Structure 1
Amino acid sequence: MELKLEVVVIPVSDIDKAKDFYVDKLGFRLDADFPIDDGYRIVQVTPPGSPCSVIFGEGLTTAPAGSVQGLHLIVSDIEQAHAELTGRGVDVSGPFHDATGAFHHAGQAYRVPGPQPERASYGSFASFADPDGNEWFLQEITERLPGR
């Protein structure tokens, strides 16, 4: 049985502000904007090159706006992605790697400025938040582990 992740729901407080951020600033494709009825609106956007979409709107989740943490967008060059998003007006942290050499810790603990020194795949990150504070990471992957 295959299980494919196709949609992630994120809680936002201002749908139009979130839509502008994801479409205009991040360059996500706008797939749908359905104002179904009073109190129920669905906006679906998709990151360039991704098979998984993001949905936000009204009446979709009881999670507080800005409460999602740890969403990852995979890039092939962390510095290029950082420069492009910064150029689009997104407040992105400088590239960093974790002092342990593994994944990154919660918050900013163990962050070392700059990409992973050997530019090992999976080792370099940058972070940003949407207007509500939902947290996203860019992660550099240049060579996937077997089976990925």
Structure 2
Amino acid sequence: MATRSQAQLTLAGARIALAAAEAHARNMGLGMNIAVVDASTHLLAFGRMEGAKITSLGIAMDKAFTAAGHKVGTHNYKEAVWPGGAAYGINHSNGGRFMTVGGGLPIKDAARNVVGGIGASTGTPTQDQEVVQAGVDALEKVLREEAKGTGPKAKL
């Protein structure tokens, strides 16, 4: 087979994840920069909340880029990037865009294929991680419902 079809994250899907992540950040009392990218790491949606740090705009986008492109959460690199670690120096790859701190997660469809990524920045890595997890959870809930035929048709 020379080609294959795969699910694509749409703007509607990105907005579901973004809205849930923003709501969670508000509940935590934080203003965040939140980025959602597709599986090809291209930006689909971005939110800059009141109080978010200007210097974390690119960080949020790079966390989403890393999570989608490498297909794992950015927090997975915490121990591996120190001198002597298995991934030491990886943060210099991809034009310096590869992020190794928490706050970036891949977004997976109902079949568990990576269809995008979400990244947040302004809080601590743990707070950023909590915010993006809320976005992933909200979108994955919609996707599970759609796969069962019980949810809204907010196409990926």
TM-score computed with the length of structure 2 as normaliser: 0.25
Name whichever structure is richer in strand by fraction: 1
Structure label with greater radius of gyration: 1
Larger relative contact order (CA 8 Å, sep ≥ 6): 2
TM-score computed with the length of structure 1 as normaliser: 0.26
